[in-house]
Amino acid sequence: MEIIKTDIEDIVIVEPRIFSDERGYFFESFSLQQFCSAVRQIEFVQDNESKSSYGVIRGLHYQKGKYAQSKLVRVVKGAVLDVAVDIRIGSPTFGKHVAVELSEHNKRQLFIPRGFAHGFSVLTPEVIFQYKCDNYYSRDNEGAIAWDDPELAIDWRIPTSEAILSAKDRCNKTLADTDESHLFNYNQNLYE
């Protein structure tokens, strides 16, 4: 696998080595040994999958405090614009984001470390999206930032009039209006 750095330290694109022939293709989608050697030590504990249609925007979500999660995300069918926003107070990239197209064709994955909000928009008629988490989900510790926060200036590549959102995602606060105690501290080790 190849590790591609992004504009924000610790967020990386993982590009697998694909073996194709007349029968189809094969690739190793995850190797703990290779990932820990190339990216960081981690223990993923939960795999999730969602199915969405064109125009769906999910996010920007995160888990607070000791329930913070790293995610390794990928698309099995279709294409998304995957977005990670730095919500670590004191970080030189606080409020900045990385946006990467993930698709069934490029087979790329995005690693989002703890301390980031995450979301994606669906660019094709249908998407099957999978992700690994290194901490269990906790409903009582959900956090979210408004997907359309003007200061974040994320181009979701979906016209606003066509965006499909959950009821919860329609009413999230902007990053500036989010209680700082619900965010992360850049100088804190989030993996202890």
Question: What CATH number did the domain enclosing 128 receive?
Answer: 2.60.120.10
Would 130 be classed as within a structural domain?
A: yes
What would the pLDDT profile of 128-175 be if each residue is shown by its tens digit? 999 999 999 999 999 999 999 999 999 999 999 999 999 999 999 999
Would 175 be classed as within a structural domain?
A: yes
Check whether the bond before 165 is cis (ω within 30° of 0).
no
Alpha carbon separation from 141 to 21, 61, 62, 166 (Å, rounded): 46, 11, 9, 18
Would 179 be classed as within a structural domain?
A: yes
Q: For position 64, what pLDDT does the model report? A: 95
Q: How many domains does the chain have?
A: 1
H-type alpha helices, the chain: 32-38
Catalytic residue among 61, 62, 97, 118: 61
Q: For position 154, what pLDDT does the model report? A: 98
Would 26 be classed as within a structural domain?
A: no
- Provide the strand spans (E) within 66-108: 71-77, 79-86, 88-89, 97-103
Would 123 be classed as within a structural domain?
A: yes
Q: Within 13 A of 95's CA, how many CA atoms are on the CB side? A: 13
Catalytic residue among 62, 97, 118, 131: 131
> Is 25 a catalytic site residue?
no
- Look at residue 192 and tell me whether its pLDDT is greater than 90: no
Could you tell me the residue range of the domain that residue 103 belongs to?
A: 44-185
Q: What is the mean pLDDT of residues 90-114?
A: 98
CB 145, CB 152: distance < 8 Å = yes
Q: What is the mean pLDDT of residues 108-128?
A: 98
> Is 131 a catalytic site residue?
yes
- The 3-state DSSP class for residue 147 equals coil
Would 76 be classed as within a structural domain?
A: yes
Would 3 be classed as within a structural domain?
A: no
Q: Average pLDDT over the chain, rounded to whole?
A: 96
What would the pLDDT profile of 2-34 be if each residue is shown by its tens digit? 999 999 999 999 999 999 999 999 999 999 999
Would 100 be classed as within a structural domain?
A: yes
Of residues 66, 15, 74, 84, the one with CA closest to residue 50: 74
What would the pLDDT profile of 46-71 be if each residue is shown by its tens digit? 999 999 999 999 999 999 999 999 99
In whole angstroms, give the CA distance from residue 186 to residue 57. Answer: 27
Q: How many residues does the chain have?
A: 192
